[in-house]
Structure 1
Amino acid sequence: MKKHIVSLSIIFINILLWGFSYPYLSNHIPIHWSFSGEVDRYATKTEAMLLMLGLLIFVYAVMILAPKLEPRKKNLALFSKTYHIIVNAMLLLFSLLNLLLVLTGLGYHVPMGSFVPVLVGAILIVIGNYLPRVRSNFFIGIKNPWTLSSDTVWKKTHRFASKMFTIAGILIAINSLLPIGNNGNIAMLALILIAVFAPYVYSYVLYRQEMGFHKK
Protein backbone atom coordinates (compact mmCIF):
# COMPACT_ATOMS: atom_id res chain seq x y z
CA MET A 1 0.00 0.00 0.00
CA LYS A 2 2.93 2.34 0.72
CA LYS A 3 3.86 2.53 -2.96
CA HIS A 4 0.39 3.94 -3.71
CA ILE A 5 0.48 6.71 -1.10
CA VAL A 6 2.08 9.31 -3.38
CA SER A 7 -0.28 8.54 -6.29
CA LEU A 8 -3.39 8.64 -4.12
CA SER A 9 -2.17 11.82 -2.42
CA ILE A 10 -1.77 13.52 -5.81
CA ILE A 11 -5.33 12.57 -6.77
CA PHE A 12 -6.69 13.69 -3.39
CA ILE A 13 -4.95 17.07 -3.65
CA ASN A 14 -6.54 17.58 -7.06
CA ILE A 15 -9.95 16.76 -5.65
CA LEU A 16 -9.39 19.37 -2.93
CA LEU A 17 -8.20 21.89 -5.53
CA TRP A 18 -11.39 21.57 -7.55
CA GLY A 19 -13.58 21.33 -4.46
CA PHE A 20 -12.34 24.55 -2.86
CA SER A 21 -12.19 26.44 -6.18
CA TYR A 22 -15.53 25.25 -7.57
CA PRO A 23 -17.78 28.01 -6.11
CA TYR A 24 -15.50 30.70 -7.56
CA LEU A 25 -14.97 29.23 -11.02
CA SER A 26 -16.41 30.70 -14.19
CA ASN A 27 -19.44 28.79 -15.49
CA HIS A 28 -17.56 28.03 -18.71
CA ILE A 29 -13.90 27.00 -18.66
CA PRO A 30 -11.55 26.63 -21.66
CA ILE A 31 -10.46 23.00 -22.02
CA HIS A 32 -8.79 22.98 -25.45
CA TRP A 33 -6.54 25.34 -27.36
CA SER A 34 -5.65 25.47 -31.06
CA PHE A 35 -2.09 25.46 -32.39
CA SER A 36 -2.20 29.25 -32.42
CA GLY A 37 -2.98 29.27 -28.70
CA GLU A 38 -6.61 30.33 -29.17
CA VAL A 39 -9.35 28.66 -27.14
CA ASP A 40 -11.46 26.45 -29.42
CA ARG A 41 -13.49 24.49 -26.88
CA TYR A 42 -15.22 25.31 -23.60
CA ALA A 43 -16.92 23.17 -20.96
CA THR A 44 -19.06 23.93 -17.96
CA LYS A 45 -17.11 23.94 -14.72
CA THR A 46 -18.79 20.68 -13.70
CA GLU A 47 -17.82 19.01 -16.98
CA ALA A 48 -14.27 20.35 -16.73
CA MET A 49 -13.91 19.11 -13.16
CA LEU A 50 -15.28 15.64 -13.92
CA LEU A 51 -13.18 15.38 -17.09
CA MET A 52 -9.88 16.32 -15.46
CA LEU A 53 -10.39 14.35 -12.24
CA GLY A 54 -11.70 11.42 -14.25
CA LEU A 55 -8.58 11.55 -16.43
CA LEU A 56 -6.34 11.40 -13.36
CA ILE A 57 -8.23 8.46 -11.88
CA PHE A 58 -8.31 6.66 -15.23
CA VAL A 59 -4.54 7.01 -15.73
CA TYR A 60 -3.90 5.76 -12.20
CA ALA A 61 -6.29 2.81 -12.58
CA VAL A 62 -4.81 1.72 -15.92
CA MET A 63 -1.22 2.02 -14.72
CA ILE A 64 -1.97 0.03 -11.56
CA LEU A 65 -4.32 -2.65 -12.90
CA ALA A 66 -2.77 -3.38 -16.30
CA PRO A 67 0.47 -4.87 -14.90
CA LYS A 68 -1.61 -7.59 -13.25
CA LEU A 69 -2.13 -8.94 -16.79
CA GLU A 70 1.59 -8.71 -17.59
CA PRO A 71 3.01 -12.11 -18.71
CA ARG A 72 6.52 -11.11 -17.57
CA LYS A 73 5.66 -10.20 -14.00
CA LYS A 74 9.14 -11.13 -12.75
CA ASN A 75 10.72 -8.56 -15.05
CA LEU A 76 8.16 -5.95 -14.02
CA ALA A 77 9.02 -6.56 -10.36
CA LEU A 78 12.67 -5.80 -11.11
CA PHE A 79 11.88 -2.15 -11.91
CA SER A 80 8.84 -1.68 -9.65
CA LYS A 81 10.25 1.49 -8.07
CA THR A 82 11.00 3.02 -11.47
CA TYR A 83 7.54 2.06 -12.69
CA HIS A 84 5.85 3.95 -9.86
CA ILE A 85 8.09 6.98 -10.42
CA ILE A 86 6.88 7.09 -14.03
CA VAL A 87 3.25 6.69 -12.87
CA ASN A 88 3.62 9.57 -10.41
CA ALA A 89 5.36 11.73 -13.03
CA MET A 90 2.37 11.28 -15.33
CA LEU A 91 -0.05 12.08 -12.51
CA LEU A 92 1.92 15.21 -11.68
CA LEU A 93 1.74 16.29 -15.32
CA PHE A 94 -2.05 16.00 -15.31
CA SER A 95 -2.13 17.69 -11.90
CA LEU A 96 -0.36 20.72 -13.32
CA LEU A 97 -2.86 20.77 -16.18
CA ASN A 98 -5.63 20.70 -13.56
CA LEU A 99 -4.04 23.65 -11.79
CA LEU A 100 -3.72 25.64 -15.01
CA LEU A 101 -7.37 25.00 -15.90
CA VAL A 102 -8.52 26.03 -12.43
CA LEU A 103 -6.47 29.23 -12.62
CA THR A 104 -8.02 29.95 -16.02
CA GLY A 105 -11.47 29.31 -14.57
CA LEU A 106 -10.72 31.75 -11.74
CA GLY A 107 -10.05 34.47 -14.29
CA TYR A 108 -6.27 34.43 -14.43
CA HIS A 109 -4.58 34.77 -17.81
CA VAL A 110 -2.62 31.56 -18.32
CA PRO A 111 -0.49 31.31 -21.50
CA MET A 112 -1.28 27.65 -22.17
CA GLY A 113 0.61 27.77 -25.46
CA SER A 114 3.82 28.21 -23.47
CA PHE A 115 3.07 26.14 -20.36
CA VAL A 116 1.85 22.93 -22.04
CA PRO A 117 4.99 22.39 -24.18
CA VAL A 118 7.14 22.89 -21.08
CA LEU A 119 5.13 20.21 -19.28
CA VAL A 120 5.38 17.88 -22.27
CA GLY A 121 9.13 18.46 -22.41
CA ALA A 122 9.45 17.79 -18.68
CA ILE A 123 7.60 14.48 -18.85
CA LEU A 124 9.75 13.35 -21.80
CA ILE A 125 12.90 14.17 -19.81
CA VAL A 126 11.64 12.24 -16.77
CA ILE A 127 10.62 9.21 -18.83
CA GLY A 128 13.86 9.36 -20.79
CA ASN A 129 15.87 9.37 -17.59
CA TYR A 130 14.24 6.16 -16.36
CA LEU A 131 13.83 4.21 -19.63
CA PRO A 132 17.16 2.35 -19.31
CA ARG A 133 15.91 0.81 -16.06
CA VAL A 134 12.82 -0.71 -17.69
CA ARG A 135 13.10 -4.46 -18.20
CA SER A 136 11.50 -6.42 -21.02
CA ASN A 137 7.71 -6.49 -20.62
CA PHE A 138 4.54 -6.12 -22.67
CA PHE A 139 3.16 -3.05 -20.94
CA ILE A 140 5.63 -0.19 -20.71
CA GLY A 141 8.58 0.81 -22.87
CA ILE A 142 9.47 0.40 -26.55
CA LYS A 143 7.48 -2.75 -27.29
CA ASN A 144 7.70 -4.34 -30.72
CA PRO A 145 8.55 -7.82 -32.13
CA TRP A 146 12.28 -7.02 -32.17
CA THR A 147 12.72 -5.70 -28.62
CA LEU A 148 10.43 -8.34 -27.12
CA SER A 149 12.32 -11.18 -28.79
CA SER A 150 15.79 -10.15 -27.58
CA ASP A 151 16.95 -8.79 -24.22
CA THR A 152 20.01 -7.31 -25.91
CA VAL A 153 17.91 -5.42 -28.45
CA TRP A 154 15.59 -4.29 -25.64
CA LYS A 155 18.43 -2.87 -23.52
CA LYS A 156 20.22 -1.11 -26.39
CA THR A 157 16.96 0.29 -27.77
CA HIS A 158 15.95 1.72 -24.41
CA ARG A 159 19.35 3.32 -23.88
CA PHE A 160 18.96 4.94 -27.30
CA ALA A 161 15.34 5.93 -26.60
CA SER A 162 16.46 7.47 -23.31
CA LYS A 163 18.75 9.86 -25.16
CA MET A 164 16.10 10.65 -27.79
CA PHE A 165 13.40 11.39 -25.20
CA THR A 166 15.73 13.55 -23.11
CA ILE A 167 17.00 15.58 -26.06
CA ALA A 168 13.47 16.01 -27.44
CA GLY A 169 12.20 17.10 -24.02
CA ILE A 170 14.92 19.73 -23.64
CA LEU A 171 14.39 21.06 -27.17
CA ILE A 172 10.60 21.21 -26.72
CA ALA A 173 10.97 23.11 -23.43
CA ILE A 174 13.41 25.58 -25.00
CA ASN A 175 11.28 25.87 -28.14
CA SER A 176 8.22 26.85 -26.08
CA LEU A 177 10.05 29.91 -24.80
CA LEU A 178 10.82 31.20 -28.29
CA PRO A 179 8.36 33.62 -30.04
CA ILE A 180 7.88 31.50 -33.17
CA GLY A 181 4.09 30.96 -33.06
CA ASN A 182 2.61 27.98 -34.91
CA ASN A 183 6.03 26.87 -36.12
CA GLY A 184 6.85 26.09 -32.49
CA ASN A 185 3.91 23.69 -32.23
CA ILE A 186 4.86 22.02 -35.49
CA ALA A 187 8.43 21.64 -34.21
CA MET A 188 7.12 20.13 -30.96
CA LEU A 189 5.07 17.52 -32.83
CA ALA A 190 8.02 16.73 -35.08
CA LEU A 191 10.32 16.23 -32.10
CA ILE A 192 7.80 13.94 -30.37
CA LEU A 193 7.37 11.84 -33.51
CA ILE A 194 11.13 11.52 -33.98
CA ALA A 195 11.67 10.60 -30.31
CA VAL A 196 8.95 7.93 -30.50
CA PHE A 197 9.61 6.37 -33.91
CA ALA A 198 13.42 6.56 -34.13
CA PRO A 199 13.83 3.87 -31.42
CA TYR A 200 11.51 1.57 -33.40
CA VAL A 201 13.71 1.87 -36.47
CA TYR A 202 16.82 1.47 -34.34
CA SER A 203 15.47 -1.71 -32.72
CA TYR A 204 14.79 -3.23 -36.15
CA VAL A 205 18.34 -2.46 -37.27
CA LEU A 206 19.75 -4.00 -34.08
CA TYR A 207 17.59 -7.10 -34.49
CA ARG A 208 18.71 -7.59 -38.09
CA GLN A 209 22.32 -7.25 -37.00
CA GLU A 210 21.83 -9.76 -34.20
CA MET A 211 20.15 -12.26 -36.49
CA GLY A 212 22.90 -11.83 -39.06
CA PHE A 213 25.51 -12.47 -36.37
CA HIS A 214 23.79 -15.70 -35.23
CA LYS A 215 23.58 -16.99 -38.82
CA LYS A 216 27.34 -16.72 -39.31
Structure 2
Amino acid sequence: MGGSNPVVLVALLTAVSLVITIFKYHDAPEKVPIWWDLHAHPWLWVPRWFGLFFLPVLTFLVPYALYQTVVNSNLESHGHESKSSIFHIVVLPAIFLFIVQTFVLLPAAVDELHNFPARTFVANVALWLLIWLGHNIKHVEPNSVVGIVNPWTSNAAWDSLHQQAGLVFEVAGVLLFILAFFLPIGWPLTVGLIVLWLGPWIVAYALAYSTASTSSEREPLVSA
Protein backbone atom coordinates (compact mmCIF):
# COMPACT_ATOMS: atom_id res chain seq x y z
CA MET A 1 0.00 0.00 0.00
CA GLY A 2 2.98 2.25 -0.47
CA GLY A 3 3.44 2.92 3.27
CA SER A 4 -0.18 3.99 3.84
CA ASN A 5 -2.23 1.77 6.09
CA PRO A 6 -5.98 2.08 5.42
CA VAL A 7 -6.73 0.50 8.79
CA VAL A 8 -5.73 3.79 10.45
CA LEU A 9 -8.44 5.71 8.57
CA VAL A 10 -10.91 2.86 9.11
CA ALA A 11 -10.23 2.90 12.86
CA LEU A 12 -10.68 6.69 12.95
CA LEU A 13 -14.03 6.49 11.14
CA THR A 14 -15.13 3.71 13.47
CA ALA A 15 -14.17 5.72 16.54
CA VAL A 16 -16.04 8.82 15.33
CA SER A 17 -19.05 6.68 14.46
CA LEU A 18 -19.06 5.21 17.98
CA VAL A 19 -18.80 8.66 19.58
CA ILE A 20 -21.72 10.01 17.54
CA THR A 21 -23.77 6.90 18.30
CA ILE A 22 -23.11 7.12 22.05
CA PHE A 23 -24.05 10.79 21.99
CA LYS A 24 -27.39 9.95 20.30
CA TYR A 25 -28.02 6.72 22.22
CA HIS A 26 -30.42 8.05 24.85
CA ASP A 27 -32.43 10.02 22.28
CA ALA A 28 -33.59 6.72 20.75
CA PRO A 29 -36.31 4.46 22.19
CA GLU A 30 -35.63 1.06 23.75
CA LYS A 31 -36.34 -0.59 20.37
CA VAL A 32 -35.31 0.90 17.04
CA PRO A 33 -36.06 -0.11 13.42
CA ILE A 34 -33.46 -2.07 11.50
CA TRP A 35 -35.53 -2.74 8.37
CA TRP A 36 -38.17 -0.72 6.53
CA ASP A 37 -40.86 -1.44 3.94
CA LEU A 38 -40.85 -0.09 0.38
CA HIS A 39 -42.50 3.13 1.52
CA ALA A 40 -39.78 3.80 4.14
CA HIS A 41 -41.96 2.88 7.12
CA PRO A 42 -40.37 0.82 9.94
CA TRP A 43 -41.02 -2.90 9.65
CA LEU A 44 -38.52 -4.82 11.81
CA TRP A 45 -37.52 -3.67 15.29
CA VAL A 46 -34.54 -4.70 17.43
CA PRO A 47 -33.14 -3.71 20.84
CA ARG A 48 -31.54 -0.26 20.83
CA TRP A 49 -28.02 -1.49 21.68
CA PHE A 50 -27.98 -3.79 18.64
CA GLY A 51 -29.75 -1.47 16.23
CA LEU A 52 -27.42 1.43 16.93
CA PHE A 53 -24.08 -0.34 17.24
CA PHE A 54 -24.03 -3.05 14.58
CA LEU A 55 -23.02 -0.64 11.78
CA PRO A 56 -20.09 0.90 13.69
CA VAL A 57 -18.80 -2.64 14.26
CA LEU A 58 -19.14 -3.45 10.55
CA THR A 59 -17.46 -0.13 9.74
CA PHE A 60 -14.26 -1.65 11.07
CA LEU A 61 -14.68 -5.37 10.36
CA VAL A 62 -15.63 -5.24 6.66
CA PRO A 63 -12.72 -3.09 5.39
CA TYR A 64 -10.31 -4.81 7.79
CA ALA A 65 -11.19 -8.20 6.29
CA LEU A 66 -10.73 -6.74 2.79
CA TYR A 67 -7.40 -5.23 3.84
CA GLN A 68 -6.14 -8.58 5.11
CA THR A 69 -6.99 -10.14 1.76
CA VAL A 70 -5.19 -7.36 -0.11
CA VAL A 71 -2.10 -7.56 2.12
CA ASN A 72 -1.77 -11.28 1.36
CA SER A 73 -2.05 -10.73 -2.39
CA ASN A 74 1.44 -9.39 -3.13
CA LEU A 75 0.53 -6.01 -4.63
CA GLU A 76 3.82 -4.32 -3.78
CA SER A 77 4.86 -4.21 -7.44
CA HIS A 78 1.91 -1.95 -8.30
CA GLY A 79 2.54 1.67 -9.20
CA HIS A 80 1.58 4.59 -6.95
CA GLU A 81 -1.73 5.29 -8.73
CA SER A 82 -2.84 1.67 -8.43
CA LYS A 83 -1.89 1.47 -4.75
CA SER A 84 -3.72 4.71 -4.07
CA SER A 85 -6.86 3.42 -5.78
CA ILE A 86 -6.69 0.14 -3.87
CA PHE A 87 -6.35 2.16 -0.65
CA HIS A 88 -9.52 4.08 -1.57
CA ILE A 89 -11.40 0.86 -2.37
CA VAL A 90 -10.35 -0.78 0.90
CA VAL A 91 -11.61 2.16 2.98
CA LEU A 92 -14.75 2.57 0.83
CA PRO A 93 -16.93 0.26 3.00
CA ALA A 94 -15.93 2.23 6.10
CA ILE A 95 -16.77 5.58 4.48
CA PHE A 96 -20.11 4.31 3.18
CA LEU A 97 -21.14 2.65 6.45
CA PHE A 98 -20.05 5.69 8.47
CA ILE A 99 -22.26 7.94 6.34
CA VAL A 100 -25.19 5.51 6.50
CA GLN A 101 -24.87 5.33 10.29
CA THR A 102 -24.60 9.10 10.71
CA PHE A 103 -27.10 10.35 8.14
CA VAL A 104 -29.51 7.43 7.69
CA LEU A 105 -29.72 5.02 10.62
CA LEU A 106 -29.33 7.43 13.54
CA PRO A 107 -31.80 10.02 12.18
CA ALA A 108 -34.33 7.23 11.61
CA ALA A 109 -33.78 5.90 15.13
CA VAL A 110 -34.41 9.22 16.88
CA ASP A 111 -37.14 10.48 14.55
CA GLU A 112 -40.66 10.40 15.97
CA LEU A 113 -42.01 8.35 13.05
CA HIS A 114 -38.75 6.41 12.47
CA ASN A 115 -39.13 6.65 8.70
CA PHE A 116 -36.17 5.63 6.56
CA PRO A 117 -34.29 8.49 4.78
CA ALA A 118 -34.52 6.61 1.49
CA ARG A 119 -33.34 9.44 -0.75
CA THR A 120 -30.25 10.06 1.38
CA PHE A 121 -29.40 6.35 1.34
CA VAL A 122 -29.83 5.94 -2.43
CA ALA A 123 -27.85 9.12 -3.14
CA ASN A 124 -24.96 7.76 -1.08
CA VAL A 125 -25.08 4.39 -2.85
CA ALA A 126 -24.76 6.33 -6.10
CA LEU A 127 -21.95 8.55 -4.86
CA TRP A 128 -19.75 5.96 -3.15
CA LEU A 129 -20.63 2.48 -4.42
CA LEU A 130 -20.92 3.55 -8.05
CA ILE A 131 -19.17 6.86 -8.87
CA TRP A 132 -16.29 6.58 -6.41
CA LEU A 133 -15.81 2.85 -7.00
CA GLY A 134 -15.97 3.30 -10.77
CA HIS A 135 -13.38 6.10 -10.67
CA ASN A 136 -10.94 4.02 -8.66
CA ILE A 137 -11.16 0.69 -10.48
CA LYS A 138 -9.97 2.47 -13.63
CA HIS A 139 -6.51 2.83 -12.07
CA VAL A 140 -6.07 -0.59 -10.44
CA GLU A 141 -3.41 -2.80 -12.02
CA PRO A 142 -3.97 -6.54 -12.63
CA ASN A 143 -4.53 -8.59 -9.48
CA SER A 144 -6.80 -11.36 -8.25
CA VAL A 145 -8.56 -9.45 -5.45
CA VAL A 146 -9.60 -5.88 -6.31
CA GLY A 147 -11.43 -5.06 -9.53
CA ILE A 148 -13.56 -6.95 -12.06
CA VAL A 149 -12.16 -10.35 -11.14
CA ASN A 150 -13.83 -13.33 -12.82
CA PRO A 151 -12.84 -16.39 -14.88
CA TRP A 152 -12.79 -14.36 -18.12
CA THR A 153 -10.59 -11.48 -16.97
CA SER A 154 -7.02 -11.72 -18.27
CA ASN A 155 -3.98 -9.55 -17.67
CA ALA A 156 -3.92 -8.62 -21.37
CA ALA A 157 -7.47 -7.24 -21.30
CA TRP A 158 -7.36 -5.81 -17.76
CA ASP A 159 -6.76 -2.12 -18.57
CA SER A 160 -9.37 -1.78 -21.32
CA LEU A 161 -11.94 -3.75 -19.33
CA HIS A 162 -11.53 -1.61 -16.22
CA GLN A 163 -11.59 1.65 -18.16
CA GLN A 164 -14.89 0.64 -19.75
CA ALA A 165 -16.37 -0.84 -16.58
CA GLY A 166 -15.32 2.18 -14.53
CA LEU A 167 -17.08 4.50 -16.95
CA VAL A 168 -20.24 2.36 -16.79
CA PHE A 169 -20.21 2.55 -12.99
CA GLU A 170 -19.74 6.32 -13.07
CA VAL A 171 -22.56 6.92 -15.56
CA ALA A 172 -24.92 4.65 -13.60
CA GLY A 173 -23.94 6.48 -10.41
CA VAL A 174 -24.70 9.91 -11.85
CA LEU A 175 -28.08 8.69 -13.11
CA LEU A 176 -28.94 7.09 -9.77
CA PHE A 177 -27.85 10.18 -7.84
CA ILE A 178 -30.19 12.36 -9.92
CA LEU A 179 -33.08 9.88 -9.74
CA ALA A 180 -32.68 9.59 -5.96
CA PHE A 181 -34.26 13.04 -5.65
CA PHE A 182 -37.01 12.63 -8.25
CA LEU A 183 -38.31 9.05 -8.22
CA PRO A 184 -41.25 8.43 -5.87
CA ILE A 185 -40.31 6.52 -2.72
CA GLY A 186 -41.59 2.97 -3.05
CA TRP A 187 -41.32 0.63 -6.03
CA PRO A 188 -39.98 3.30 -8.46
CA LEU A 189 -37.01 4.23 -6.25
CA THR A 190 -36.38 0.60 -5.25
CA VAL A 191 -36.35 -0.63 -8.83
CA GLY A 192 -34.14 2.27 -9.88
CA LEU A 193 -31.67 1.36 -7.13
CA ILE A 194 -31.61 -2.33 -8.02
CA VAL A 195 -31.25 -1.78 -11.76
CA LEU A 196 -28.58 0.92 -11.56
CA TRP A 197 -26.59 -0.90 -8.86
CA LEU A 198 -26.67 -4.42 -10.30
CA GLY A 199 -26.67 -3.31 -13.95
CA PRO A 200 -23.04 -2.07 -14.03
CA TRP A 201 -21.81 -5.37 -12.56
CA ILE A 202 -23.70 -7.36 -15.18
CA VAL A 203 -22.31 -5.11 -17.92
CA ALA A 204 -18.77 -5.43 -16.51
CA TYR A 205 -18.97 -9.23 -16.49
CA ALA A 206 -20.42 -9.19 -20.02
CA LEU A 207 -17.52 -6.99 -21.16
CA ALA A 208 -15.02 -9.39 -19.59
CA TYR A 209 -16.63 -12.36 -21.32
CA SER A 210 -16.81 -10.54 -24.64
CA THR A 211 -13.17 -9.51 -24.44
CA ALA A 212 -12.08 -13.05 -23.58
CA SER A 213 -14.10 -14.48 -26.47
CA THR A 214 -12.51 -12.20 -29.07
CA SER A 215 -8.95 -12.00 -27.72
CA SER A 216 -6.15 -14.27 -28.86
CA GLU A 217 -4.32 -13.61 -25.58
CA ARG A 218 -6.22 -15.58 -22.98
CA GLU A 219 -3.64 -16.10 -20.28
CA PRO A 220 -5.29 -16.42 -16.85
CA LEU A 221 -5.35 -13.54 -14.43
CA VAL A 222 -2.46 -13.67 -11.98
CA SER A 223 -1.64 -11.58 -8.96
CA ALA A 224 0.66 -8.69 -9.70
- Which of 138, 146, 149 is the aligned partner of 2:144? 138
Are residues 193 and 2 of structure 1, via their aligned partners in 2, closer, same or farther at CA, if it must alter by over 3 Å?
closer
Unaligned runs of 5+ in 2: 219-224
Provide the residue aligned with 1:175 in structure 2: 179
| TM-score, length of structure 2 as denominator length | 0.84
Provide the residue aligned with 1:89 in structure 2: 92
Figure out how many residues of one structure are paired with residues of the other and give that number: 210
User: Which string of whole-angstrom CA distances, capped at 9 and with x for unpartnered residues, describes residues 18-38 of structure 1?
Assistant: 122222222111121223322
Unaligned runs of 5+ in 1: none
Provide the residue aligned with 1:8 in structure 2: 11
Query: What is the alpha-carbon distance in structure 1 between the residues aligned to residue 79 and residue 24 of structure 2?
Result: 39
Mean CA deviation greater in 161-170 or 86-95: 86-95
Query: What is the alpha-carbon distance in structure 2 between the residues aligned to residue 179 and residue 73 of structure 1?
Result: 42
Provide the residue aligned with 2:125 in structure 1: 120
Once the 2 structures are TM-superposed, how far is the Cα of residue 212 of structure 1 from its aligned partner? 8.1
Once the 2 structures are TM-superposed, how far is the Cα of residue 176 of structure 1 from its aligned partner? 1.3
Provide the residue aligned with 1:60 in structure 2: 63
Provide the residue aligned with 1:163 in structure 2: 167
Once the 2 structures are TM-superposed, how far is the Cα of residue 77 of structure 1 from its aligned partner? 6.7
Do 2:142 and 2:155's aligned partners in 1 also have CA atoms closer than 8 Å?
A: yes
| TM-score, length of structure 1 as denominator length | 0.87
Query: What is the alpha-carbon distance in structure 1 between the residues aligned to residue 37 and residue 83 of structure 2?
Result: 37
Once the 2 structures are TM-superposed, how far is the Cα of residue 168 of structure 1 from its aligned partner? 0.9
Are residues 203 and 46 of structure 1, via their aligned partners in 2, closer, same or farther at CA, if it must alter by over 3 Å?
same
Query: What is the alpha-carbon distance in structure 2 between the residues aligned to residue 212 and residue 54 of structure 1?
Result: 44
Do 2:10 and 2:60's aligned partners in 1 also have CA atoms closer than 8 Å?
A: no
- For the aligned residue pairs, the C-alpha RMSD in angstroms reads 2.2
Query: What is the alpha-carbon distance in structure 2 between the residues aligned to residue 178 and residue 36 of structure 1?
Result: 15
SS in 2 for 1:151: coil
Mean CA deviation greater in 72-81 or 202-211: 72-81
Q: How many percent identity over aligned positions? A: 18
Query: What is the alpha-carbon distance in structure 2 between the residues aligned to residue 36 and residue 105 of structure 1?
Result: 16
Question: Relative contact order: is structure 1 or structure 2 higher (C-alpha 8 Å, sep ≥ 6)?
Answer: 2
Q: Which has the higher helix share?
A: 1
Provide the residue aligned with 2:35 in structure 1: 32
Q: Which runs of 4+ in 1 moved over 4 A?
A: 75-78, 108-111
